[in-house]
Amino acid sequence: MADFDELSFRPARPADAEPIRQMVRTIWEGHDYLVVSIDRRIAEGGVYVAELRDRLVGVSRVRRLADDEWWLEGLRVDPQQWGLGLGRRLHEFTMAELHRLGHGMARWSTADSNRSVGFAAGSGFRKVLVLPFAGYPYSREKPLENRAAVTAGTDDLALVDIDEPGVLDFLLAGCREHYAGLLSRGWVLPAATAQRLREALGGRPILVRRGPRGLRAAAPLYAGDPRPDHLYLSAVSGEPAAFDAAFVQALGRLIRHLHPGADLWTPVPLPLEKTFLAAGLRGEEGFNWMYVYELSLG
């Protein structure tokens, strides 16, 4: 067992970046995002480290999304120290700092296979959202050549942008219905607002299905970088029956048009999981579920 009398916490310094990289180099088979982003995160602030006998053994971060909104991320413990309770102690320290810093709502997300799931309930957070992962390896499909993703006038599918009348309100309603009022963008889910949807999805293609009474389905396609390996769906909105094989096939054609060689790997709303899978997407192995937790800071 660790001697917690020798455990200390402090804000991270630029010189901690390399020890952190070395600490996480074996986590997730070397694909931990902290390897490439820790310098930036330390420079932006809110990063804390844990030291045991003058050795760096943990890192966490509090990220300010708004005056009353906070996101906890990047909590890691040295794999050689797993099982000793250091992660819980680091989380408790981080929360104490967060209570000192501000008020409002704190949230964080994790995969169902992560160790942090074990102490989520005891820390006062409540689980507000469960998102299963689904995807399709579109990179294995043949090039689309000149075939259009959506052919105008042939069906009820269309490509629109967020300024199309009614689209923004439809996406906001979907965030409230399917995402606990949050905006799904990778592993960070801030509160969904009209301004945030415009900032996140402005200029992004949105595949929609229309019906006699208006929009039935919308799936904005989101890429985290200009030449992505993986694509995401953000703020998926609509009724389950609208996400059929034709919709998913059109989505695949759109992906192969815009980002040839990329795969779709995205969390989907739980009420829509079965219909997406029935339409051709498949469940992901590894990280099968994303859990999102929140806590009011008062």
Please tell me whether residue 88 adopts helix, strand or coil conformation: helix
Q: Which of 53-62, 150-159, 189-198, 222-231 has the lowest mean pLDDT?
A: 150-159
Q: What pLDDT score was predicted for residue 151?
A: 64
Phi, psi (deg, nearest 5) at residue 109: -130, 160
Cα distances (Å, whole numbers) of residue 75 to 19, 149, 160, 183, 267: 15, 41, 38, 22, 21
d(CA 147, CA 158): 15
Q: What integer best gives the mean pLDDT of the chain?
A: 90
d(CA 252, CA 123): 41
Look at residue 153 and tell me whether its pLDDT is greater than 90. Answer: no
Q: Which of 6-20, 80-94, 172-186 has the lowest mean pLDDT?
A: 80-94
State both tokens at 202.
């402005």
pLDDT digits (tens, 9 = 90+) for 72-130: 999 999 999 888 889 889 999 999 999 998 899 999 998 887 777 777 767 789 999 99
pLDDT bucket at 3, cuts 50 / 70 / 90: low
Q: Which residues touch 140 (CB under 8 Å, ≥6 apart)? A: none
State both tokens at 141.
């499909």
Q: What pLDDT score was predicted for residue 285?
A: 60
Q: What percent of the chain has pLDDT over 90?
A: 65
pLDDT bucket at 5, cuts 50 / 70 / 90: confident
Query: 144, 257 in Cβ contact below 8 A?
Result: yes
- Count CB neighbours of 147 within 10 A: 10
Q: What pLDDT score was predicted for residue 177?
A: 96
Q: What pLDDT score was predicted for residue 1?
A: 47
Does 245 or 115 have the greater pLDDT score?
245
Q: What pLDDT score was predicted for residue 277?
A: 92
Please tell me whether residue 194 adopts helix, strand or coil conformation: helix
State both tokens at 124.
């006062």
Distance, C-alpha 156 to centroid of its chain: 30
C-alpha closest to that of 188 among 130, 119, 110, 244 = 110
What is residue 152's DSSP assignment?
A: T
pLDDT bucket at 298, cuts 50 / 70 / 90: confident
Taking residues 56-64, what's their average pLDDT? Answer: 96
Look at residue 45 and tell me whether its pLDDT is greater than 80. Answer: yes
pLDDT bucket at 60, cuts 50 / 70 / 90: very high
Q: What pLDDT score was predicted for residue 43?
A: 97
- Count CB neighbours of 286 within 10 A: 8
d(CA 178, CA 278): 19
Taking residues 259-280, what's their average pLDDT? Answer: 92
